[in-house]
Structure 1
Amino acid sequence: MTTTADFADFIDATEYDDLSEEVVEGIKKRILDSIGIALGSIGDEPVEIVRETVRELDPEGGACGIWGSDETASPPEAAMMNTALIRYLDYMDALLLPGETPHPSDNVGAAIASAEYADCSGEDLITGVGIAYEVHGEMADKAPGRDIGWDHIHVTFGSTAAACKLMGLDYEGIRNAVGIATAAYNPLRVTRTGEISMWKGIASANLARNAVYTTMLAKNGMEGPVDAFEGQKGWKEIVQERDFQVEFTPCERILEVMTKKYMAGTHAQTAIEGLLELLERDDIDPHDIEQLHLVTYESAKHVMGGGEGDRHVPKNREQADHSIPYTLAAAALDGQLMKEQYEQERITRDDVRELMGKMTVEGSAELTERFEAGEQPYNITVTTADGSEHRIEKTAFEGHPTNPMSWEQLEEKFHGIAKDAFPESHRNEIVETVRNLEQYETSDLTALLNARS
Structure 2
Amino acid sequence: MTTIVEQLSAYAAALRYEDLPCKVVHQAKRLIIDTIGCALGGFESEPARIARDIAGTVTSTQPATVMVSGQRTSPDLAAFANGVMIRFLDFNDGYTSTGESGHPSDSIAAVLSMAELMKRSGKEMIAATVLAYEVFCRICDEVDLKPLGFDHVTVGGMASTAAAARLFGLSEERIAEAFNLGIAPNIALYQTRIGHVSMWKGCAYANASRNAVFAAMLASRGMTGPSPIFEGVGGYFKAVTRAPFQLAAPGGREHPFKIMECSIKRFPLGQYSQTVVQAALEVRDKIRSAAEIAEVRIETVSTAIRLMAGDPDKWEPATRETADPSMPYTGAVALIHGSVEEHLFDENYLRDPEIRALTRRLKA
TM-score interval, normalised by the smaller of the two chains: over 0.9
Aligned to 2:73: 73
The question of whether the paired residues in 2 share the 8 Å contact of 1:178 and 1:226 is answered with no
Q: Residue 294 of structure 2: which of 290, 297, 322 is its match? A: 290
1:273 aligns with 2:281: no
> Mind listing any 5+ residue stretches in structure 1 that lack a counterpart?
362-453
The question of whether the paired residues in 2 share the 8 Å contact of 1:135 and 1:158 is answered with yes
Aligned to 2:307: 303
CA deviation profile, 1:155-209 (whole Å, cap 9, x unmatched)? 1111000001111000110110111112111000011111111111111111010
The question of whether the paired residues in 2 share the 8 Å contact of 1:175 and 1:226 is answered with no
Q: Secondary structure at the match of 2:298?
A: strand
Aligned to 1:404: none
Aligned to 2:203: 202
Cα distance in 2 between the residues matched to 1:180 and 1:192: 25
Cα distance in 1 between the residues matched to 2:60 and 2:225: 30
Cα distance in 2 between the residues matched to 1:59 and 1:285: 56
Q: Shift of the alpha carbon at 1:349?
A: 1.0
Q: What percent identity do the matched residue pairs reach?
A: 34
Aligned to 2:258: 253
Q: Shift of the alpha carbon at 1:245?
A: 1.2
Aligned to 2:166: 165
Aligned to 1:92: 92
Tell me the number of residue pairs that the alignment of Structure 1 and Structure 2 aligns.
Answer: 358
The question of whether the paired residues in 2 share the 8 Å contact of 1:99 and 1:146 is answered with no
Aligned to 2:241: 240
Over 3 Å counting, the alpha-carbon distance change for 1:117 and 1:60 in structure 2 is closer
Q: Secondary structure at the match of 1:272?
A: helix
Q: Shift of the alpha carbon at 1:284?
A: 4.1
Cα distance in 2 between the residues matched to 1:34 and 1:359: 32
Q: Shift of the alpha carbon at 1:216?
A: 0.5
AA partner of residue 264 (structure 2): T
Over 3 Å counting, the alpha-carbon distance change for 1:283 and 1:358 in structure 2 is closer
Q: TM-score under structure 1 normalisation?
A: 0.77
Cα distance in 2 between the residues matched to 1:55 and 1:3: 37
Q: Secondary structure at the match of 1:242?
A: coil
1:137 aligns with 2:137: yes
AA partner of residue 357 (structure 2): E
1:318 aligns with 2:321: yes
Aligned to 2:52: 51
Q: Shift of the alpha carbon at 1:231?
A: 1.3
> Mind listing any 5+ residue stretches in structure 2 that lack a counterpart?
none
Which has the higher relative contact order, 1 or 2, with Cα contacts under 8 A spaced 6 or more apart? Answer: 1
Q: Secondary structure at the match of 1:175?
A: helix
Cα distance in 1 between the residues matched to 2:301 and 2:12: 35
Cα distance in 2 between the residues matched to 1:59 and 1:303: 40
Aligned to 1:183: 184
AA partner of residue 136 (structure 2): H
The question of whether the paired residues in 2 share the 8 Å contact of 1:195 and 1:309 is answered with no
The question of whether the paired residues in 1 share the 8 Å contact of 2:55 and 2:74 is answered with no
Over 3 Å counting, the alpha-carbon distance change for 1:246 and 1:60 in structure 2 is closer
Over 3 Å counting, the alpha-carbon distance change for 1:182 and 1:192 in structure 2 is same
The question of whether the paired residues in 2 share the 8 Å contact of 1:62 and 1:72 is answered with no
Q: Considering only aligned residues, what root-mean-square deviation do their CA atoms show, in Å?
A: 1.4
Q: Secondary structure at the match of 2:226?
A: coil
Aligned to 1:217: 218
1:360 aligns with 2:363: yes
Cα distance in 2 between the residues matched to 1:310 and 1:77: 32
Q: Shift of the alpha carbon at 1:144?
A: 2.8
Q: Shift of the alpha carbon at 1:239?
A: 1.2
The question of whether the paired residues in 1 share the 8 Å contact of 2:114 and 2:167 is answered with yes
Structure 1 moving runs of 4+ over 3 Å: 59-62
AA partner of residue 229 (structure 2): A
Q: Secondary structure at the match of 1:142?
A: coil
CA deviation profile, 1:261-287 (whole Å, cap 9, x unmatched)? 11111110001001110122x354323
Range that drifts further, 237-246 or 119-128: 237-246
User: What are the within-5 Å matches in structure 2 for residues 334-349 of structure 1?
Assistant: 334-349=337-352
Q: Shift of the alpha carbon at 1:59?
A: 4.7
AA partner of residue 173 (structure 1): R
